[in-house]
Amino acid sequence: MKTKLVIFDLDGTLVNSLYDLADAVNYALAKNGLPTHEREKYRFMVGNGRSVLADRAMMIPEGSDSELKRAVLADYDHYYGGHYKDNTRPYEGTAELLKALDERGVGYCVLSNKPDFFTKAIISELFPGSDFAYVMGKRDEFPTKPDPASVNAVMRELSVTAEECLYIGDSNVDMKTAANAGIESVGVSWGFRSVEELEAAGASHIADVPGDILKYLKEQ
């Protein structure tokens, strides 16, 4: 069945946002008297949404709730709101990939665990000429990926089936999201996680450069 929609993760897939995420968390940790981490260590903390990111950075059990954690998240949100694109840039070749999808008549959208406001802001500001069919970050009415609820909502909104989609991401969260939604997946080797992680999480394919994704579009 022909591919009608490519669903992209954002951080680590379309954009390299690692340093801005790391700097925002480190600001919040330091402000609250907690130890900070080297930027590169955040590769293994991001991906499951801001709450889990805070848990991992604070080195507390995932799902924790405390006054201190709420303070860290508030300070993170405040800092990130003014610095979310200080260092964040599209990965080389992503703009050309989106143009190639346009030329083939294949739609594309973004589905991220990043808060919805920041997801939309980054797409509009860093990909101003690209015609995304839908852009959605984390919203209260949906659980975070890898739960497939948000993916299913996007497919309903755009009137496509799982068989007509291709899911692109850089982490085990993305590969599990695709599997949970019954969608063929492509893991990208340029993102925050390793190819080994992507393959272990069930990636259908691996792309080494954005243009590789075109090879996995189904024509009929």
Active site residues per annotation: 9
CA distance 88 to 61: 29
Candidates 14, 3, 16; CA nearest to 214 is 3
CA 110 to chain centre: 8
Instruction: Say what angle helices 18-31 and 67-83 make with each other, to 10 degrees.
Output: 140
Give the Cα separation of 102 and 217 in Å (integer). 13
What burial letters (b/e) apply to 101-128, b meaning 16+ CB within 10 Å? beeeebbbbbbbbbbeebbbbbbeebbe
- Give the gyration radius of the chain's Cα atoms: 17
96: Cα within 13 Å, side-chain hemisphere = 9
| Rounded Cα gap, residues 153 and 157, in angstroms | 6
Cα–Cα nearest to 177, from 134, 148, 202? 148
